[in-house]
Chain A
């Protein structure tokens, strides 16, 4: 079957760094997406990895290891506005995104 595993909730301090891990199992693989979703809003695109390695984009970086079925999202210099849910979504062989429940990130001052 297809499965996503992320921590349910994480807490971090403003200005710090946090890493959100994601392991997945899918039928085929066409890349992995990270989305940010604030409460009551639609998800917004953060990153896309299709090859192994680290993709850096400003304060956010995403890493992928296809052989391990593993990805992480790294958020640096945390700001209060980063409090949101972070969704790891691999794309299967049919180009459909597989969604888990996401990780709720709480930023404290």
Chain B
């Protein structure tokens, strides 16, 4: 299947700093990418939908000025957590939507980025 990478896989930072997470589709082009957050033992929570060349669509309750999303190309979307605080510590996962012929489509997930804010 399609491959999606994320970088970094782990990041530890001090409170107040900004952290950038990259999501890349390695062998396909993705016009739509999704950013999720998952707290321990909880379900995936969609944060925003990232569309190449346009502004991201944020879910209710997600601060767009705090979680900056840039989908600069068909293979790269970035999530920047600005002025991170301990409550932002979480597992951040991106996925890329793949459309094939007919009605087939799926989302392939990156390996995730674990963020710890001290």
Across the interface, do A42 and B109 meet the contact criterion of CB distance under 8 Å? Answer: yes
Contacts of A42 in B (CB 8 A): 93, 109-112
CB neighbors of B among A21-63 (8 A): 30-31, 33, 35, 40-45, 48, 50-51
B46 touches A101 (CB 8 A): no
- Cβ–Cβ < 8 Å partners of A33 in chain B: 106-107
Q: Is the interface of B mostly helix, strand, loop or mixed?
A: strand
Looking at chain A's contact residues, the main secondary structure is loop
B12 within 8 A of A: no
A2 to B44, CA, bound (A): 15
Do A97 and B43 touch (CB < 8 A)? no
| A41 touches which of B43, B106, B112 (Cβ 8 Å) | B112
Q: Mark A8-19, 1 if CB is under 8 A from B, else 0.
A: 000000000000
What residues on A are CB-neighbors of B111 within 8 Å? 41-42
Chain B interface residue number, banded: 20 to 34
Question: Is the CB of A96 closer than 8 A to any CB of chain B?
Answer: yes
User: When the two chains form the complex, which single residue of A43, A44, A50 contacts B103, counting CB atoms closer than 8 Å?
Assistant: A50
Contact of B44 among A41, A43, A48, A50 (CB under 8 A): A43
Most buried by A among B32, B44, B105: B44
B45 at interface by CB-CB < 8 Å: yes
Known: A50-B103, A50-B104, A95-B97. A45 touches B109 (CB 8 A): yes
Q: Which residues of A contact B (CB under 8 A)?
A: 30-31, 33, 35, 40-45, 48, 50-51, 87, 95-97, 99-102
14 example contacts (A-B, Cβ-Cβ < 8 A) are as follows: A31-B103, A35-B109, A41-B112, A42-B110, A43-B93, A44-B109, A48-B105, A48-B106, A50-B103, A87-B44, A99-B43, A99-B46, A100-B43, A101-B43
11 further interface pairs, Cβ-Cβ under 8 Å (given A44-B109, A48-B106, A101-B42): A31-B105, A35-B109, A40-B91, A42-B93, A45-B106, A48-B104, A50-B104, A97-B46, A97-B107, A100-B43, A102-B43
